[in-house]
Amino acid sequence: MTTANFLSETKPASPNAAAWAIFALAMGGFGIGTTEFAMMGLLPNVAAGVGVSVPEAGHVISAYALGVVVGAPLLVAVSAKWRRKTLALALMGLFTLGNLSSFFAQDYPTLMATRFVAGLPHGAYFGVAAVLAASLVVPTKRGRAIAMVMMGLAVANVVGVPLATMVGQQFGWRLMFVFVAFIGLVTIAFIAVVIPFQKAHPDASLRRELGALRRGQVWLTLLVGVVGFGGFFAVYTYVANTMTDVAGFPADFLPVIVGLYGLGMVAGSFAGGKLADWSVLGSIYIVMGFIALMLVTYAFTVHIQWLALVMIFVIGASGSMLVPSLQTRLLDVSPGAPTLASSLNHSALNMANALGAFAGGLVISWGWGFTAPALVGAVLAVMGLGIALVSGRLDRRGRPAAVVPVGATARVDG
């Protein structure tokens, strides 16, 4: 059974119904993005609140990321026989409870534990949301449907993160978790009302889902995300230092810079969805090459303020452009078990975050300056492109190949 058949057993919804369903799923992404990134702006407040240093408070973010990596395969595997709507509701319920428990955490160890729990449903939610969105539209619009779900994450960087940060700074950092939990409750209500129930596949099982991990193309696609997207995070992790120390912007201008980055993510999600519907592998090739070129350009132009602003928007856009294609590629190369493979994409992206931050920090510690992470990022992007080219070559040689849904016009050849 192909992935296309596995997804198309439910008749696509009407355009209006599909739009509302995708909006509901994107709202969950908005909440997830808000809680993930708002913590970075509230670290000094969190550190003071639980009596630890700022670097120790940073481990709270790492605990969340570890939850993402662990939770994606674990939660999808144990819920293999569940209906997808039921799984989406359960995951958003766990996300809401995890954030509420963070609100009540009174000490550092408890906060670490609750952030780990809050991170568990992150990857699994985006995985099942991508599968749901793809099943609600005709095959030629899968990329755009997935991109719209991911748009919640992008919009969170423009609206949710600044608002949650303001709430946390003005009224106490713990209230940020209440704000996010409220978003989770609203999302649960929307999903319950607007997303149709789909019968669980009769052959669904833990063995079927784990079968995706035996496919070399799944691992190659995940590796593209880990390595290629690592270059993007190598820059973003140190953007504040680069913009103040190299570009010369005052610290109080950083919210504008972060906002530009978020707007770039929104634009990139739109473009990435259309590119994925044109050609899944082709768009990965193009975007990976584009990321490498833009990171090199950023390294040599960031000292010019107006160019620095342009480039931070472009880098935000280029990173988001890659996600819909990676997500769609994982659906294509995991016939019969799309949910687990799709969920693992977000585990891969969190590993990319860790890789990029480490590699960027390493060259800074060597005294190469704050522009060096961009050059390291460009190297990682080229490596990601190389992995994608290998994957495409294996497709053309007749090994586990991406599947073109019946009636689809999107190209998936290399």
pLDDT value of residue 11: 66
Reported as a single tens digit per residue, the pLDDT across 123-139 is 899 989 988 998 899 88
Three-class SS of residue 305?
A: helix
Structure confidence at residue 206 as a pLDDT band (50, 70, 90): low
CATH number at residue 204: 1.20.1250.20
Indicate if the pLDDT at residue 103 is higher than 90: yes
Say how far apart CA 360 and CA 291 lie, in whole Å.
Answer: 16
Residue 412 placed within a domain: no
pLDDT, average across residues 231-256: 84
pLDDT value of residue 398: 66
pLDDT greater at residue 58 or residue 383: 383
Structure confidence at residue 411 as a pLDDT band (50, 70, 90): very low
pLDDT value of residue 5: 47
Distances (CA, A) of 367 to 86, 357, 362: 51, 16, 9
pLDDT, average across residues 385-396: 93
pLDDT, average across residues 277-293: 95
26-40, 224-238, 300-314, 352-366, range with greatest mean pLDDT: 300-314
* DSSP code at position 139: G
Distances (CA, A) of 6 to 78, 127, 361, 369: 19, 15, 43, 50
Residue 410 placed within a domain: no
User: Radius of gyration over alpha carbons of the chain, in Å?
Assistant: 20
Residue 282 placed within a domain: yes
Residue 407 placed within a domain: no
Domain that holds residue 328: 3-396
Say how far apart CA 287 and CA 170 lie, in whole Å.
Answer: 40
Distances (CA, A) of 414 to 256, 280, 345, 403: 39, 9, 20, 13
List, in order, residues 6 or more apart from 146 with CB less than 8 Å away. Answer: 130, 133, 134, 273, 276, 324, 327, 328
pLDDT, average across residues 22-47: 87
Residue 411 placed within a domain: no
Indicate if the pLDDT at residue 238 is higher than 90: no
pLDDT greater at residue 273 or residue 252: 273
Residue 277 placed within a domain: yes
Cβ pair 118, 31 in contact under 8 A = no
Reported as a single tens digit per residue, the pLDDT across 319-345 is 899 999 998 999 888 876 777 878 888
Structure confidence at residue 310 as a pLDDT band (50, 70, 90): very high
| Number of folded domains that form the chain | 1
pLDDT greater at residue 318 or residue 402: 318
Indicate if the pLDDT at residue 296 is higher than 50: yes
pLDDT value of residue 409: 42
pLDDT value of residue 54: 72
Residue 145 placed within a domain: yes
Name the one residue in this structure whose structure tokens are 């913590």.
Answer: 39
Structure confidence at residue 233 as a pLDDT band (50, 70, 90): confident
Cβ pair 329, 402 in contact under 8 A = yes
pLDDT, average across residues 305-323: 93
pLDDT, average across residues 39-50: 82
pLDDT value of residue 377: 93
Residue 22 placed within a domain: yes
